[in-house]
Structure 1
Amino acid sequence: MELSPPPSGLKVEYETLFTSDCLLFLHELISTFDGEVDQVLRLRASRKVHLDLSGDLPSFLESTTHIRSDPEWRVLPVPPRLQRRHVDIGDLAPCDTQRFINALLSPAQGIQVDFDDGNCPTYHNQIKGIHNVYKAVHNQFYNVPHLSQAPVLMLRPRAWNMVEHNLMVEGKEAPGPLFDFGLLMFHCGKTLFENKSGPFFYLSKVESFMEARLWNNIFVWTQQKLGLPLGCIKATVLIENVLAAFEMEEILYELRDHSAGLNCGIWDYSASFVNKFGHRQAFLLPDRSKYVNMEKRFLRSYMDLLVQTCHRRGALATGGMAALLLPQDITSDSHQRVMATVTRLKLLEIEAGVDGFMVYDLSFIEPMQKLFKLHSEGDNQLQQLRNDVTVTPDDLLSMPAGGVTLYGLKYNIAVGVLFINAWLSGNGHFFYRGQVEDSATAEISRSQVWQWIRHQTRLEDDSRVVSRQLVCDLMKEVMMELGVLCHTVKAVQRLHTAADMFLEVVLKRDFPEFITTYLNQDHTFLSSQSAGQVDTDKPQSKL
């Protein structure tokens, strides 16, 4: 087992985390499950090849009909601290110490402690973030409420597609999620359990019940190894892939002793259609800025089915994250407009029966809690069984009508470039045009540009074809707009590097499965980390 030396300035944090006992535990955990991780990733590739070669579309599995048709089984009830989580803070990268402390001091019911979508997984960020969780769990932050009184921590390790370059186990780079999960459980699992505040997790980018089964096996093994009661780990699975939408009951069934429910979000889920079917003309996804929202049939059906599935099995169903930022001047028109938009969208989720959702901006916590109280009863909405819902494969696979706008194309280019630029700066999210953007919005942005080029889609504005040349021309315009925000020569160079990398991704013949995998294996990103770390404790500027 080989572990890289500590990043600059994190010697104490490194030594706190990487004790000899912890390293032994990590080695055992990773060597036990590494082969199964490879297996689920190969299963993903195999399913994709089958869909491409056969032209088939996903449907509900015949082999698991007995699970779906059995009305008796339920997930175990969740602990009291999870029963009322109307409003969580989402996308919180814990390496940002001040924002993490602000969240712990907030009236939110939970915090999505995010090592995935909103986090850039540099070695510095992982160690800083995991150590900050350690400090929160062991009450080492000054003037922060005790673990049992602060918002509950919902820990989100990286997804299966990510590797940890700084840890080699038996000659292989470690799976990123096992690195994160192992450190968090070893150092925090017992204390969280003793304070009736965990250990609770979010599981990202799960694509099948086989992946849920792997997580369940990992939970059972870990609880036994650490002397914790079976079933004390609880996990919410994010259904952010179209294939997983057809296996929601099976995913719950596999995790029934460890389930905290399912979560639905809009952008990773929408991007998965391009990932799986993007080369098919029938799955051309129109401009997300104009035609894609949770009121569209394919997304509304997915949310309704998720709520119905969860509540039928006694599991909690949670909605997505409001990414908008609330302008501070409460008398301004923009403040009222943003508040009205978020209220309308979150009311849609409440009325669909969700038991909670997330916001990024802490200013939304109390207004959204009041909204929940006004339009629902009790701690959750488990009593809303949604027997009115019947969702077919056609409902889930029905693409919305609409075309491509010049505004939408330029917006997607800007988001994609700025995301790569953020990663090259060591940040997993950034602010642009009044909202937070992260890997989920970067995924849908670059997916759409790739797909529109592939299908030679025409702009609604002037009938120009979305081509390599048009995207390169628009890139110059976008760079003129973004360039004024760069205040140093280094920042300008980094932005141009990000633009080159974005074009590389969207012009590829074959669709790169995840932009985060692509970046995490790219020499430019890896060399930017060894060149020095940005200070992620400093607040980022809003673009």
Structure 2
Amino acid sequence: MAIPGVQILAPPVSEHQAAVIDEPAQRFVATLQRAFNARRLELLQRRADRQIEIDAGRLPDFLPETRGVRDDPAWRGAPPAPGLADRRVEITGPVDRKMVINALNSGASTYMADFEDSTAPTWANCLDGQVNIRDALLRTIEYDAPNGKRYRLRPAGELATLLVRPRGWHMEEKHFLVDGAPCSASLFDFGLFFFNSARASIAAGQGPYFYLPKMESHLEARLWNDAFNLAQDTLGIPRGTVRATCLIETLLASFEMEEIIFELREHSAGLNCGRWDYIFSFIKKLRNHPDKLLPGRGDVTMTSPFMDAYVRLLIKTCHKRGVHAMGGMAASIPIRHDPAANEAALAKVRADKLREVRAGHDGTWVAHPDLVKVALEVFDEHMPGANQLFVRRDDVTVTAADLLSTEGLAEGFGEADLRLNMNIALAYMESWLRGVGCVPIHNLMEDAATAEISRSQLWQWARHGAATREGRRVTAAWAVELLGEETDKFRAAMGEEKFAASKFELARKLLSGTIQGKEYSDFLTTLCYDHILSIPERP
């Protein structure tokens, strides 16, 4: 019978999908939604209110009201959970069946199955992803590719530990209504995985482990902690079984790192430097401050002042509290057709990972299985133990001004940077609108986080009428002209028939408002989400 108050507007299309969203699972997700959605909406309003304050000149700072948490030397996060003591190389990627098998087989320490930045949240993708990670934990997952290649899991002792990243608090699952309102996508993704797979993950010698994205305050971490407790209590699983690593990928969260660990104490598995989203957030939060304009995205690196400060503070904070400090993602991918270019790209990855391990990180991210070996070699050489929790970084002092500093960055941007950002944003949005959330572009693995940098820089440059290095000011009219030219390049390369069948025109239309510096959508995913819904029109 139907669950009172629950409506599914697009039914499952296979028996496997139906199994992961059966009536008991629906009831469990609805319980979470009813318990926590009102607080979620209040916290989202706090984000909007804080943005108004930042626009008016009240820049971020450490919170005086939580000084006691930061100054108390006694408390610690949870000790590493089974399968999470050694996380030297983590691989991340979408939740399609082939990727799940390849990632678990990759030789990485862990695999973050991503429902967020690298998965376009079509209804089919979300449900199939739940099926795939459930089957992976049950060791029943198999995949036979159209070309005849077969994908199977290696023996259990050779597999990566599984972590799941649900969508952020800002997203909704509009196919699933509770009491007439769309369900929080965070609670939907978390709830389905927990209900269907928490016990299977425990049986596999691990546990229900998570990555938590895009939080902006310790109050949002508190909400997650309460959701974990309710979920564990409801299914009779001991509190503290869940572990969660928080991505510090928003500017505001960098001022509340200790508070975030504190809120999740018995569930904390540390923090991660979500570098690409962090750059995006820096642009977004300070977008109305012309003195904070950033150069082209290629000139913003981990050695940029505000990035270096946040990394040093994260490592010090995590190790002070006894939890992992994870490094960021290498977005490079193998360049198989050009050995010289491939070696140059791998050299950059090695240098990046060497910088991370020497700084004190306990592990790092890669986006492609072929990079696991490269990252492992660096961490194996320089981190012989399971982690570096003993590296305290007492030498580090980071101020609010350091976290906001753009001093010493390359100056300005060129027309080539404008065009590159448009090219990347168009290509990624077109792919996302087709249901593909992770796509190679210019030899980098682009996901929503990297594409957001391009989109937001375009808005900021147009908003402030910034001048290129060639001396031309960015106007709305010129931006639209360039966007048309970049779109036409895709048309010419694809041919008219293929172009007409693509989503490029829709991507151009959605991007057009942003590049003129007018309306700004906080997230590319919310800007585009309604265009990938599978909800049939009512008569």
TM-score range, shorter chain: over 0.9
Partner of 1:294: 302
SS in 1 for 2:411: coil
Does the 8 Å contact 1:307/1:317 carry over to 2?
yes
Tell me how far 1:50 sits from its aligned partner.
2.4
Partner of 2:113: 113
Partner of 1:314: 322
Q: Which amino acid aligns with 2:365?
A: M
1:475 partnered with 2:475: no
Shift in CA distance, 338/442, structure 1 to aligned 2, threshold 3 Å: same
Shift in CA distance, 149/30, structure 1 to aligned 2, threshold 3 Å: farther
Q: If the length of structure 2 is used for normalisation, what is the TM-score?
A: 0.93
**Comparing 146-155 and 442-451, the one that deviates more:** 146-155
Does the 8 Å contact 1:139/1:146 carry over to 2?
no
* Among candidates 373, 377, 391, match of residue 370 of structure 1: 377
* Among candidates 391, 404, 428, match of residue 384 of structure 1: 391
Partner of 1:515: 524
**Comparing 433-442 and 138-147, the one that deviates more:** 138-147
Q: Which amino acid aligns with 1:191?
A: A
Question: CA-atom RMSD, angstroms?
Answer: 1.7
Tell me how far 1:470 sits from its aligned partner.
2.0
Residue correspondence of structure 1 range 35-74 to structure 2 within 5 A: 35-53=38-56, 55-74=57-76
Tell me how far 1:479 sits from its aligned partner.
2.1
- Cα distance between partner residues in 2 of 1:312 and 1:190: 32
**Comparing 154-163 and 11-20, the one that deviates more:** 11-20
- Cα distance between partner residues in 2 of 1:221 and 1:147: 30
- Cα distance between partner residues in 1 of 2:8 and 2:221: 28
SS in 2 for 1:443: helix
Tell me how far 1:488 sits from its aligned partner.
6.4
1:134 partnered with 2:130: no
Does the 8 Å contact 1:233/1:258 carry over to 2?
yes
Q: Which amino acid aligns with 2:329?
A: M
Does the 8 Å contact 1:136/1:147 carry over to 2?
no
Q: Which amino acid aligns with 2:320?
A: R
Shift in CA distance, 174/276, structure 1 to aligned 2, threshold 3 Å: same
Partner of 1:31: 34
Q: If the length of structure 1 is used for normalisation, what is the TM-score?
A: 0.92
Tell me how far 1:254 sits from its aligned partner.
0.3
Partner of 2:11: 6
Does the 8 Å contact 1:404/1:457 carry over to 2?
no
- Cα distance between partner residues in 2 of 1:344 and 1:56: 37
Tell me how far 1:149 sits from its aligned partner.
4.5
Partner of 2:358: 351
**Comparing 240-249 and 100-109, the one that deviates more:** 100-109
Q: Which amino acid aligns with 2:76?
A: R
Q: Deviations over 1:74-124 (max 9, x none)?
A: 11101131011111112x111x21122111222111111000000100001
Partner of 2:434: 425
- Cα distance between partner residues in 1 of 2:521 and 2:488: 27
Residue correspondence of structure 1 range 98-109 to structure 2 within 5 A: 98-109=98-109
1:326 partnered with 2:331: no
* Among candidates 239, 245, 258, match of residue 230 of structure 1: 239
- Cα distance between partner residues in 2 of 1:147 and 1:277: 47
Residue correspondence of structure 1 range 128-527 to structure 2 within 5 A: 128-142=128-142, 143-145=152-154, 149-289=158-298, 291-328=299-336, 332-399=339-406, 400-460=409-469, 462-486=470-494, 489=497, 491-492=499-500, 494-507=503-516, 509-521=518-530, 524-526=531-533
Does the 8 Å contact 1:263/1:318 carry over to 2?
yes
Shift in CA distance, 111/469, structure 1 to aligned 2, threshold 3 Å: same
Tell me how far 1:511 sits from its aligned partner.
2.3
- Cα distance between partner residues in 1 of 2:523 and 2:303: 26
Does the 8 Å contact 1:117/1:440 carry over to 2?
yes
- Cα distance between partner residues in 1 of 2:44 and 2:158: 39
Tell me how far 1:249 sits from its aligned partner.
0.3
- Cα distance between partner residues in 2 of 1:487 and 1:312: 57
Q: Which amino acid aligns with 1:93?
A: P
Tell me how far 1:490 sits from its aligned partner.
5.1
Partner of 1:87: 89
Q: Tell me which stretches of 4 or more aligned residues in structure 1 moved more than 4 Å.
A: 146-149
Shift in CA distance, 180/487, structure 1 to aligned 2, threshold 3 Å: farther
Does the 8 Å contact 1:112/1:154 carry over to 2?
yes
Q: Which amino acid aligns with 1:109?
A: S
Partner of 1:537: none
- Cα distance between partner residues in 2 of 1:57 and 1:137: 45
Q: Which amino acid aligns with 2:58?
A: D
1:15 partnered with 2:18: yes
Tell me how far 1:508 sits from its aligned partner.
5.0
SS in 2 for 1:80: coil
- Cα distance between partner residues in 1 of 2:443 and 2:213: 26
- Cα distance between partner residues in 2 of 1:105 and 1:376: 22
Q: Which amino acid aligns with 1:114?
A: D
Tell me how far 1:502 sits from its aligned partner.
0.8
Shift in CA distance, 210/14, structure 1 to aligned 2, threshold 3 Å: same
Tell me how far 1:530 sits from its aligned partner.
6.4
Tell me how far 1:388 sits from its aligned partner.
1.2
Does the 8 Å contact 1:148/1:197 carry over to 2?
no
Does the 8 Å contact 1:162/1:520 carry over to 2?
no
Number of aligned positions between the proteins: 520
Shift in CA distance, 508/357, structure 1 to aligned 2, threshold 3 Å: same
Tell me how far 1:26 sits from its aligned partner.
1.5
Q: Deviations over 1:241-275 (max 9, x none)?
A: 11100000000000011001001122211111222
Tell me how far 1:141 sits from its aligned partner.
1.8
Does the 8 Å contact 2:476/2:517 carry over to 1?
no
Does the 8 Å contact 1:148/1:195 carry over to 2?
no
**Alignment gaps of 5+ in structure 2:** 1-5, 143-151
SS in 2 for 1:83: coil
SS in 2 for 1:293: coil
Q: Which amino acid aligns with 2:405?
A: S
**Alignment gaps of 5+ in structure 1:** 532-543
Identity of aligned residues (%): 37
Tell me how far 1:148 sits from its aligned partner.
5.9
SS in 1 for 2:163: strand
Shift in CA distance, 514/253, structure 1 to aligned 2, threshold 3 Å: same
Partner of 2:145: none
SS in 2 for 1:64: helix
Q: Which amino acid aligns with 1:241?
A: T
